[in-house]
Chains A and B, each alone.
Chain A
Amino acid sequence: MLRYLASRLMQGAVVILLVSIGTFSMMHFIPGDPVDLMVGEAQVTQEQLDMIRRKWGLDRPVHEQYLAWASNMARGDFGQSVIRTGVPVRTMIGEAAVVTAKLNLLAFFISIAIALPMGIAAAVRRYSGFDYAIMVSSTLGLALPNFWIGLMLIVLFSLLLGWLPPFGLPSWKGYIMPVAVIVANQTALLARMMRASTIEGMGEDYVRTARAKGLVERVVVSRHVVRNALLPVVTVIGYRISFLLSGTIVIENVFALPGLGQLFIESVNRVDYQVVQAIVLLLSVLVVLGNLITDMFYGYIDPRIRIG
């Protein structure tokens, strides 16, 4: 187990290194000199320009610039926003991360709580009306773009019924619609997976054995089928973190929630590249950590994995 853990940690570190190099060089390819952009119309001499470059380390070779930047990042020093001058990027990200975390964790747990029982029930009563309804709604849930579902919810609950605030977070009610949208997409996928996985499990030999020794169907399903059927679903749930983060960007923009996704888009549009770099790196670290935890968990619940 320890060797497995070490090798996975190494792989994660390599991925983060690759992403950091990618982010850094992408920001370097942006047309335009950052110093010119900063100075703007102000009258400056060549010496002053050189001084600014020296101060920011822009006169040094690229690999040195990268190392300086990377070591700052590793120490949690994300620099200062170019647009909101004086505000450390860390503070901006910290404030936004709280909103994003609340939104996604809430949606994550609700969708698991709904999707897994629904998937199992649909599989147990295969070809029934319930199963059919689950399949149809999950097919729709996968086809409807989440931001459009969000817009339609705004029309229904804010405009027509006037129950919920359309934008922002005036109170906890601001979370209801965004969470519902993410839950809709996630549930569609997870329920479908759980159903497929359970159906596959029902055909296994050990399930026939369990039935043959006279176990009640309910016990067969809960002890023998579901436990094994959960394995592939757990992996997918873990790997979905990157998809959740993609989804949150759009949803936060639909509902104008002051989270990471909103901050990311705003920073991209304002060319605030300190913030963009920091967010991209942060998200990739999150994804790598999420995948790592999934692998650990998977290795823990399924001993067969550790050997490979």
Chain B
Amino acid sequence: MSQPATVIPAPYRRSEFTRAWRRFRRYRPGLFGLCFILALVVMAAIPDLLSPHSHTQIFRGMRGAPPSWSHPLGFDHIGRDMLSRTIWGSRVALIVGLLATGISVAVGVTIGAASGYLGGRADATLSRLVDTLMAFPVLVLLITLSAVLGPSLVTVVVIIGVTGWAQYARVVRAEVLSLREREFSLAARAAGAGDARIIFRHILPNVMGPVIVLASLGIGGIIILESALSFLGLGVQPPTASWGGMLSDGRGFILIYPQIAIAPGVMISLTVLAFNLMGDGLRDALDPRQHDASLDR
């Protein structure tokens, strides 16, 4: 069966995107979030060009030295340049935030779609699994898993990813349940489409709006989780610079070198704020009927 290429004219498709962009642009805080994230991406992509010093180089005799002109954020507890470490730390935050969210979305959409489309016993079992996962204190699970598997960047990404999919599964399941009964699904079935084609071509594209919104609102939470794990010593291991790990150093020396704990915390807060605001903007743009999803976390 050959598909006629002119069913949807190109200008119409572009205007769909343009309209979403127009709606997004109206929400100023969301625009700020987007700009901050873009800056962060640049930072994480070329930290070696942007940071004035190496993030692991130790300056002798500069332990905990306060800010100066050549080192605007001062030094940490063993004499490394704080500005360089803060810049390098953006890499860990973004890698974990984006990759772990990616894993969660992939798993959650698959399980949610299967659960909603298949129904019956499979749906009941999967829904119970989702309930269990959502009710359990995530951090307890992450700490135990990280200790058992051995803490590292890869461990952190994988365990956060495979424990965080429940909320996506829940949303996708609910959407699929209603979309499955809509006329266009029925029409596709009448035209002879199989289950796989209906799911991938007709149902999932309609689910992507809420999922994108949820994911952009979820990244902030994941970045906080990663920094909490690193803060407890069970995340990314030194000497790699991560904001949570730097805060852990800051806690150890808080009464002697309090400045260590400031910059990484500000960066975590701004990053999480930026993702949350962008998520709010995306919700306005892509999914106007949805209520405040940040409250469901």
Contacts and interface: CB of A to CB of B under 8 A. Distances in A.
A24 B287 CA distance: 42
Nearest to A151: B261
Contact of A242 (B137, B147, B228, B268): B137
A249 interface: yes
Interface string B140-167: 1001110110000000000000000000
A278 to B, nearest CB: 12
Contacts of A142: 272, 276, 294
A236 interface: yes
B148 A26 contact: yes
A145 B272 contact: yes
B139 A250 contact: yes
B132 A166 contact: no
Nearest to B138: A246
A14 interface: yes
Interface string B246-268: 01001100110010011001001
A288 B144 contact: no
Given A193-B295, A245-B137, A148 B261 contact: yes
Given A145-B224, A200-B291, A280-B140, 5 more contacts: A11-B131, A143-B220, A243-B137, A246-B140, A250-B232
B24 interface: no
A98 interface: no
Given A148-B265, A151-B247, A143 B272 contact: yes
B145 A26 contact: yes
Closest 3 CB pairs of A and B: A148-B265, A246-B139, A143-B273
The prevalent SS among residues of A at the interface is: helix
A15 B122 CA distance: 17
B129 to A, nearest CB: 8
A268 B265 contact: no
Given A14-B128, A254-B251, A196 B144 contact: no
Chain A interface residue number, banded: 35 or more
Contacts of B117: none
Contacts of A219: none
Interface stretch (A57-65, A78-86, A125-133, A152-160): A152-160
Interface in B26-74: none
A246 B231 CA distance: 14
A176 interface: no
Nearest to B266: A148
Chain B interface residue number, banded: 35 or more
A288 B292 CA distance: 26
Contacts of B292: 192, 196
B233 interface: yes
Contacts of B178: none
A153 to B, nearest CB: 10
Contact of B140 (A14, A29, A154, A249): A249
A145 B265 contact: yes
Contacts of A27: 148
Contacts of A239: 135
A296 B275 CA distance: 36
Contacts of B135: 15, 239, 242, 287-288, 291
Interface in A1-41: 11, 14-15, 18-19, 23, 26-27, 29-30
B37 to A, nearest CB: 13
- Interface centre among A23, A268, A287, A291, by most B CB within 10 Å? A268
A274 to B, nearest CB: 14
B277 to A, nearest CB: 8
B136 A268 contact: no
B265 A26 contact: no
B269 to A, nearest CB: 5
Interface string B211-247: 0000000001000100110011110000000000001
A101 interface: no
Given A189-B295, A246-B137, A287-B137, A147 B228 contact: yes
A142 B140 CA distance: 20
Contacts of A276: 144, 147
Interface in A130-175: 139-140, 142-145, 147-148, 151-152, 154-155, 158-159, 166
B139 A249 contact: yes
Given A151-B247, A243-B137, A264-B143, A196 B273 contact: no
